Amino acid sequence: EVQLVESGGGLVQPGGSLRLSCAASGFTFSAHWMNWVRQGPGKGLVWVSSIRSDGGDTRYADSVKGRFAISRDNAKNTLYLQMNSLGVEDTAVYYCTSNVNDWNAYWGQGTLVTVSS
Protein backbone atom coordinates (compact mmCIF):
# COMPACT_ATOMS: atom_id res chain seq x y z
CA GLU A 1 0.00 0.00 0.00
CA VAL A 2 1.31 3.43 -0.98
CA GLN A 3 1.70 5.82 1.93
CA LEU A 4 2.81 9.45 1.95
CA VAL A 5 3.07 10.96 5.43
CA GLU A 6 3.75 14.67 5.75
CA SER A 7 5.10 16.37 8.85
CA GLY A 8 6.66 19.64 9.90
CA GLY A 9 3.72 21.99 9.64
CA GLY A 10 2.75 24.41 12.37
CA LEU A 11 2.35 28.03 13.36
CA VAL A 12 5.08 30.41 12.25
CA GLN A 13 5.40 34.19 12.28
CA PRO A 14 5.60 36.16 9.05
CA GLY A 15 9.16 36.11 7.76
CA GLY A 16 9.85 32.80 9.46
CA SER A 17 10.88 29.42 8.10
CA LEU A 18 9.62 25.85 8.20
CA ARG A 19 10.81 22.57 6.75
CA LEU A 20 8.22 20.06 5.65
CA SER A 21 8.97 16.37 5.25
CA CYS A 22 7.12 13.61 3.46
CA ALA A 23 7.94 9.98 4.21
CA ALA A 24 7.06 7.66 1.34
CA SER A 25 6.49 3.91 1.29
CA GLY A 26 4.80 1.26 -0.81
CA PHE A 27 6.32 2.26 -4.15
CA THR A 28 9.75 2.83 -5.70
CA PHE A 29 10.26 6.38 -4.44
CA SER A 30 13.52 6.89 -6.33
CA ALA A 31 11.84 6.25 -9.69
CA HIS A 32 9.23 9.02 -9.68
CA TRP A 33 8.82 12.76 -9.76
CA MET A 34 7.40 14.13 -6.52
CA ASN A 35 5.42 17.29 -5.85
CA TRP A 36 4.07 19.65 -3.24
CA VAL A 37 0.54 20.96 -3.74
CA ARG A 38 -1.14 23.37 -1.34
CA GLN A 39 -4.69 24.34 -0.49
CA GLY A 40 -5.46 27.58 1.28
CA PRO A 41 -8.39 27.74 3.73
CA GLY A 42 -11.58 27.18 1.74
CA LYS A 43 -9.63 27.42 -1.50
CA GLY A 44 -8.72 25.17 -4.40
CA LEU A 45 -5.60 23.18 -5.18
CA VAL A 46 -2.41 24.96 -6.22
CA TRP A 47 0.80 23.36 -7.42
CA VAL A 48 3.85 24.56 -5.48
CA SER A 49 6.92 22.59 -6.57
CA SER A 50 8.18 19.42 -8.23
CA ILE A 51 11.41 17.44 -8.23
CA ARG A 52 12.63 14.80 -10.65
CA SER A 53 13.31 11.26 -9.52
CA ASP A 54 17.08 11.82 -9.22
CA GLY A 55 16.75 15.32 -7.77
CA GLY A 56 18.43 16.83 -10.82
CA ASP A 57 15.50 18.96 -11.96
CA THR A 58 13.39 21.16 -9.71
CA ARG A 59 10.46 23.42 -10.60
CA TYR A 60 8.64 26.09 -8.63
CA ALA A 61 5.51 28.16 -8.85
CA ASP A 62 6.33 31.83 -9.37
CA SER A 63 4.71 32.64 -6.03
CA VAL A 64 7.35 30.64 -4.11
CA LYS A 65 10.40 30.87 -6.36
CA GLY A 66 13.42 32.10 -4.44
CA ARG A 67 11.79 31.39 -1.08
CA PHE A 68 11.06 27.65 -1.15
CA ALA A 69 13.44 24.79 -1.92
CA ILE A 70 12.38 21.25 -2.72
CA SER A 71 14.74 18.33 -2.18
CA ARG A 72 14.68 14.60 -1.70
CA ASP A 73 16.70 11.84 -0.08
CA ASN A 74 16.16 8.67 -2.08
CA ALA A 75 18.07 6.60 0.48
CA LYS A 76 15.52 7.65 3.11
CA ASN A 77 12.48 7.70 0.79
CA THR A 78 11.79 11.23 1.97
CA LEU A 79 10.75 14.44 0.24
CA TYR A 80 11.36 17.88 1.73
CA LEU A 81 10.20 21.44 1.31
CA GLN A 82 12.25 24.18 2.91
CA MET A 83 10.09 27.28 3.21
CA ASN A 84 11.69 30.64 3.99
CA SER A 85 10.39 34.21 4.19
CA LEU A 86 6.90 32.93 4.84
CA GLY A 87 3.97 35.29 4.40
CA VAL A 88 0.32 35.05 5.42
CA GLU A 89 -0.46 34.06 1.83
CA ASP A 90 1.47 30.83 2.38
CA THR A 91 -1.05 29.66 4.98
CA ALA A 92 -2.40 26.37 3.63
CA VAL A 93 -2.51 22.62 3.92
CA TYR A 94 0.52 21.28 2.09
CA TYR A 95 0.17 17.94 0.35
CA CYS A 96 2.96 15.69 -0.84
CA THR A 97 2.07 13.87 -4.06
CA SER A 98 3.73 11.32 -6.30
CA ASN A 99 3.69 11.01 -10.09
CA VAL A 100 3.23 7.28 -10.45
CA ASN A 101 1.79 6.76 -13.92
CA ASP A 102 1.06 10.44 -14.47
CA TRP A 103 0.58 13.44 -12.21
CA ASN A 104 -0.49 13.32 -8.56
CA ALA A 105 -1.40 9.65 -8.42
CA TYR A 106 -1.05 9.50 -4.65
CA TRP A 107 -1.57 12.11 -1.93
CA GLY A 108 -0.58 12.37 1.68
CA GLN A 109 -2.92 13.48 4.43
CA GLY A 110 -1.48 16.99 4.34
CA THR A 111 0.23 19.17 6.92
CA LEU A 112 -1.14 22.55 7.96
CA VAL A 113 1.10 25.60 7.79
CA THR A 114 -0.26 28.72 9.47
CA VAL A 115 1.60 32.00 9.06
CA SER A 116 0.40 34.53 11.59
CA SER A 117 1.70 36.99 14.13
Partner 1 sequence: DVVMTQSPLSLPVTLGQPASISCRSSQSLLHSDGYSYLNWFHQRPGQSPRRLIYKVSNRDSGVPDRFSGSGSGTDFTLKISRVEAEDVGIYYCMQGAQWPPTFGQGTKVEIK
Q: Which residues bind partner 1 (CB under 8 A)?
A: 35, 44-47, 50, 59, 61-62, 95, 101-110
Question: Could you tell me the smallest distance in angstroms from the CB atom of residue 44 to partner 1?
Answer: 5
- Contact present, 85 and 68 (Cβ < 8 Å): no
Q: Which is nearer to partner 1, 101 or 117 (CB)?
A: 101
- Contact present, 34 and 14 (Cβ < 8 Å): no
Taking CA atoms, 97 is separated from 38, 100, 104, in Å, by: 10, 9, 5
In angstroms, rounded to a whole number, what is the distance separating the alpha carbons of residues 35 and 33?
7
For residue 97, the tally of other CB atoms under 10 A from its CB is 22
Q: Which is nearer to partner 1, 68 or 95 (CB)?
A: 95
Question: Could you tell me the smallest distance in angstroms from the CB atom of residue 116 to partner 1?
Answer: 22
Question: Could you tell me the smallest distance in angstroms from the CB atom of residue 103 to partner 1?
Answer: 4
Q: Which is nearer to partner 1, 62 or 75 (CB)?
A: 62
